[in-house]
């Protein structure tokens, strides 16, 4: 079946609320570049290269979904989750391919009739869509480590799968030495994502700076970006989610490793923010191969029912639409591990997780995927050095799909593995690991 992209009449097809039918279509991203690049030149911001710009992750993945989907994740229903992954891949692969093949024409500048906000969208005739949006450009507080950064601009990428009613959202932070418009930031993010999706998860961390700089140059803004080493692993984690959404098709399209471990850490705690601090990996790497073991991935506390969708900053039309299709938010981190040496060697990892406001409260988790034996896991209810903990775990491994359970000051932590051996149905050794913080009683 031929998929049609960005046809005006299809805006009404993707909308349950009817709001998208009122969006004003301005033109393609390519049209905007032709229109705006001369203006940048007139202001002198494209004649010389601008340094002192930063790029980092803003938020880890959030899934906005119907309550039934949230319940499947809470209950760790692997079969339902696999079905959702397959459906979302079928929905979004054409949209992502269009980003890769036609970056300037696949993104459409639209204007919201409620507040005249402009951003970029892409949609198809099957009801799937994505957006790239910058909510504001504000004066940045003085940073002694980045004194040239004068402005900060949070930018958001969202994608919606029609057949599953799942929306995935995450954000990035741009720090700039120049004042640029919200639409310009959205354009840079759109082109960066198109490059990232085309590259796949075999990207290298150090190339991300070049990719976002190339995206800025293509919009008519000559800007060089830096990424702090402390933020690199968290950025790589968000970049992987941008590529694979909730599915795995793009993993295996780009990599041919013996083992791939996909770890999801879910925060169901409505009281505490949690963060994944550092990790230790044995014969393994994360996509991007960041050189630091520091993660600094924050997991915000779960929103109570009724506070969820309204608590997220979204373009007005998209907020109205999502309130008709989704009711719940899932906050989680998505980290992928692959074995580095593939000949008769597996991989293992450990990481520590702490409460943001009380770093003495937390837990440490370890997992191993041997070459020929069963997968195994181990966890203790205190935050510990991951390197030492991985060594300790080698004499405590539990060969069980779980749940492996600990209690952290009254808060249950539950860890699961989807299979001990055999890999997935395609014959590839791809395993899923899920760690749930304070899951509901049905998940205990």
**Does 258 score more than 70 pLDDT?**
no
The span from the CA of 223 to the CA of 146, in Å, is: 15
The per-residue pLDDT for 427 is 47
**Does 424 score more than 80 pLDDT?**
no
Question: Considering the entire predicted model, what is its pTM?
Answer: 0.92
The span from the CA of 121 to the CA of 186, in Å, is: 10
**pLDDT (tens digit per residue) in 368-417:** 998 778 999 999 999 999 999 999 999 999 999 989 999 999 999 999 99
**Does 277 score more than 60 pLDDT?**
yes
Please give the backbone phi and psi of residue 212, each rounded to the nearest 5 degrees, phi first.
-75, -35
> β-strands 328-339, 284-285: how paired?
antiparallel
Confidence tier at 423 by pLDDT (50, 70, 90): low
Any residues with CB less than 8 A from the CB of 137 and at least 6 apart, and which? 151, 152, 153, 176, 179, 180, 181, 182, 185
**Does 310 score more than 80 pLDDT?**
no
Q: Where are the domain boundaries for CATH 2.60.270.20 in the chain? A: 256-317+330-444
Give the position of tokens 């507080």.
141
Decide yes or no: CATH 3.30.750.24 for domain 256-317+330-444.
Answer: no
Highest mean pLDDT among 13-17, 62-66, 182-186, 248-252: 182-186
If you compute the radius of gyration of the chain from its CA atoms, what whole number of angstroms results?
Answer: 22
Reported residue count of the chain is 444
Please give the backbone phi and psi of residue 142, each rounded to the nearest 5 degrees, phi first.
-65, 130
The per-residue pLDDT for 210 is 93
**Does 344 score more than 80 pLDDT?**
no
Any residues with CB less than 8 A from the CB of 231 and at least 6 apart, and which? 56, 57, 296
Asked if residues 131 and 13 have their Cβ atoms less than 8 Å apart, the reply is no
Higher-confidence residue: 411 or 320? 411
Beta bridge partners of 65: 328
Higher-confidence residue: 324 or 289? 289
Burial 22-46 (b: 16+ CB within 10 A, else e): ebeeeebbbebbeebeeebeeeebb
Q: How distant, in Å, are the alpha carbons of 23, 45, 64, 135, 309 from that of 327?
A: 24, 43, 7, 22, 7
> β-strands 151-161, 129-134: how paired?
antiparallel
């Amino acid at each position: 079946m031929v998929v049609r992209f960005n046809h005006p009449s299809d805006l009404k097809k993707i909308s349950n609320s009817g709001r998208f039918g009122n969006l004003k279509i301005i033109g393609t991203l390519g049209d905007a570049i032709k229109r705006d690049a001369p203006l940048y030149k007139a202001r002198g911001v494209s004649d010389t290269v601008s340094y002192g710009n930063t790029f980092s992750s803003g938020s880890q993945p959030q899934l906005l979904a119907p309550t039934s989907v949230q319940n499947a994740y809470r209950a760790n229903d692997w079969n339902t989750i696999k079905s959702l992954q397959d459906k979302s891949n079928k929905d979004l692969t054409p949209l992502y391919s269009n980003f890769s093949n036609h970056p300037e024409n696949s993104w459409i500048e639209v204007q919201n009739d409620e507040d005249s906000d402009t951003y970029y969208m892409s949609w198809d005739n099957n009801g799937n869509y994505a957006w790239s949006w910058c909510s504001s450009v504000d004066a940045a507080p003085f940073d002694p480590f980045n004194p040239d950064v004068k402005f900060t601009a949070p930018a958001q990428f969202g994608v919606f799968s029609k057949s599953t009613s799942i929306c995935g959202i995450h954000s990035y932070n741009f720090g700039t030495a120049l004042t640029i418009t919200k639409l310009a930031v959205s354009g840079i993010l759109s082109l960066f994502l198109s490059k990232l999706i085309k590259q796949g998860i075999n990207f290298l961390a150090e190339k991300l700076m070049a990719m976002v700089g190339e995206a800025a140059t293509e919009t008519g803004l000559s800007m060089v970006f830096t990424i702090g080493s402390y933020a690199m692993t968290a950025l790589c984690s968000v970049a992987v989610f941008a590529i694979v959404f909730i599915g795995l098709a793009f993993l295996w399209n780009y990599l041919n490793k013996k083992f791939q471990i996909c770890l999801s850490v879910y925060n169901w705690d409505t009281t505490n923010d949690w963060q994944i601090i550092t990790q230790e990996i044995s014969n393994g790497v994360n996509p991007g191969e960041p050189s630091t073991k520091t993660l600094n991935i924050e997991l915000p506390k779960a929103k109570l029912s009724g506070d969820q969708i309204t608590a997220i900053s979204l373009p007005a039309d998209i907020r109205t639409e999502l309130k008709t299709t989704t009711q719940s938010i899932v906050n989680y981190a998505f980290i992928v591990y692959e074995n580095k040496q593939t000949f008769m060697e597996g991989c293992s990892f450990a990481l520590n997780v702490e409460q943001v406001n009380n770093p003495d409260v937390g837990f440490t988790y370890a997992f191993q995927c041997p070459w020929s034996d069963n997968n195994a896991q181990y966890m203790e209810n205190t935050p510990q050095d991951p390197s030492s903990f991985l060594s300790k775990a080698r004499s405590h491994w539990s060969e069980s799909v779980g749940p492996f359970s600990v209690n952290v000051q009254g808060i249950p932590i539950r860890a699961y593995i989807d299979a001990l051996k055999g890999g997935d149905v395609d014959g590839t050794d791809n395993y899923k690991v899920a760690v749930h913080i304070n899951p509901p009683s049905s998940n205990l």
